[in-house]
Structure 1
Amino acid sequence: MKPPAPSGSAIQTNALQAMCRQVFGFRLAMIALAAPAALLGAAPGLPVRLVGAAVVVTFMGSYVLFRDWERFGPLLLRHPALLAADTLLGSLLLVTAGPQSTLAYVSVCTPLLAGLAYSWRGAAFFACLQGLVLLAVRGDVLLLAGLCVITGALGVTLRNLLLRFGAATQALSEARAGLAAAQAVEVERARLAREMHDSVATTLHGLALAADALAACDDPAETRERAELVARAARRAAAESRELLSDLRSQSYGGVRAGVDLTSELTNRVRDLTSRWQDSGIEAAYRSVGDGTPPVVPYPMARQLLSIAAEAMENAVRHAHPTRIDVTAGVHAGLLRISVRDDGRGLPPGTTLDGLRGSGHFGLVGMVERAAGVGARLRIGRGDGARGTEVRLEVPLGARR
């Protein structure tokens, strides 16, 4: 006979132990109620001593197992003979108190415990043993003996249900853990794709354009100027790569960075955009608006906000062909608002995220994902202007963390 469950199945073991403990609590109460009748029904002398000893042993055994099952329960599970001895001692009480007392409930509980603890073999053995004891005490208790068989079968059924439920729960937990790991990998892949697209890929694209212009230039002074622009773009790509790697390492090892001043960072991004696209004739400017200047923002959030603003500016230059780009930031009614507005040709009618994703344009998709990641609201449309596009990002000040 084996313990109720494998050592690794903590869920099944705990459930079976809890049920066994409750059954012993019920037996304890029934023995306490029947003990006076058993003592009064015993003959003076040795019989009453034997009955008294049986009362003490069965009562204390049930009490110990109910009170401290975690310590003594495994002993009972390893040695079914202890339950058999308890059954035989209980027969002394049945002889004196009679099956019509509350000890009848104790007799019915024994096969139930065997079914829970020892499976069907133990249930069959103890149901037969308890039935024989009842028939030996009094011959007209066939109904009670039949109940012992029924409770034994009930104990086995409960055991099997608990084991199957525990196995199903464990399988579900493992499936959820696997799904969570797969989702974490997918989220990390999407994040890396956004970082590469919005930083290094964008800079390399500008570097390629600058290199093309350099190849077509004949004037030495202009060639020198364009070569310097290529060098700056290359250094920026290297810096962005280092920044991306540094950010990944800081997230992996729990590094903490200081807050970021959005005003200076946005000013630098606008200045960098102007220098890279100076030949296009596009004017770009930054100004603070609203109820106050943008507050200092924690680095993880600032990285996402600045990436969204930079991507909005790049998209405007590449696709909208504007003459001017205005970047503003400030506090409006408890919201940190960042706006990138151009006077270009605007978004094509019927533009959707699924359509952009399907056609390989991931810039706008990445902006939406970044905004959702920091709890921001992103609006893309015409805005208040007669033409062009406005990308507006709003973050509750209480969401900064």
Structure 2
Amino acid sequence: MDAAPSLPLQVNALQAMCRQVFGFRMAMIALAVPFSLGGTTSRLGTWLVVAAVTVTFMVSYALLRDWERFGPVLLRHPALLAVDMLFGALLLVTASPASTLAYVTICTPLLAGLVYGWRGAAFFAVCQSLVLAGAYGVSDKVELNANALLLPGLCLITGAAGSTLRGLVLGFGAASQALTEARARLAVHEAIEQERARLAREMHDSVAKTLHGIALAADGLAGSAGRMDPHTLRLQAELVARSARRAAAESRELLSDLRRESGLDGGVDVLTELAARTADFARRHDVRAEFRRLGGAPPPPVPQVVARHLLTIASEAMENAHRHARPTYVDVSAGVVGEVLRVSVYDDGRGLPAGTSLDQLKQAGHFGLVGMVERAASIGARIRIGRGRAARGTEVRLDIPVRALTPDPPPLPYIPKQPITT
């Protein structure tokens, strides 16, 4: 049995289609306002129409502008779409089915099919058809004929189209998510392998050469010990001993690094490290800086090489804010959000100039942000640099799939069932 798609996957995959539907709804509602106001005969009716227009328009605008925030609420609570349909029914009755508002009715089953699947599409298509039938029944501006069946038929068609598009979009979204996680996992493993190769080079350049020097010194000491005076012999022996101790220290350091890189130490607690670095930044620069933990589930231990890049990016973002933005407040947050480990550094400073690109930063000699992007790419993470949702300032936000940090292979992605045709 296929696993149901996760909520973050649905939010990300459906956002483009749903935003287009809400944009169309807003345009049709704006065009239908004069018809609705013209169809009212009392002051109470006018206020009800104004309230219905305000609610339906603002709900559509909120979901269009900030789908990432309000989309999950709509996905979890189908009753919200039913309430919205009731407000739309009030407008439809006052404007009459002959107005442009009648075309907004097809958006409800289409949206239900996209968001809730074929069951939601069937339920809302039937409800919207009943609303249309009631609007035709109470309206004296249109004739009840065969043309009145057009809109209910369109509701059924758009509901089926919405549920079909949902399956296709979610299938494509699941494949894209699996590809992103696979790339991130490969990037993490590649970073770890590159670190091991670096340690192997250092072992060759330090320990191996030191041991080779000790061997040569010991051979020379053994060959000429009988011809040396006791003082020179003691000096040569001390030299060999010092070299041996240095080789032992280098070996312990490299073995400690190898132990961390192989994951035998259980990985790094990134949240604890970020909290400590945030507190140290606040002490050194006398800037109000606070650390917040995101999400409820604790993040998994992060491999040493990946944690080093994450912490370096966060530290560089804080230092850049202090050097260039003159902030009064720095907010550092991290945790598991959906299916990614998110690290965010926000400052309320001057922010980046509009239209700033990486090429411009390179030409101007500002390699801090360029280095952050390169580090993020090296571990398969996604980085965003800009204002985010704030009105001013700069946010550096880093997302890396949680599955890329775990040694176990990820489960198979959600693939919607397709009907078998003959």
TM-score, normalization: structure 2?
0.48
TM-score, normalization: structure 1?
0.50
Higher-Rg member (1/2): 1
Greater relative CO (CA pairs within 8 A, separation 6+): 2
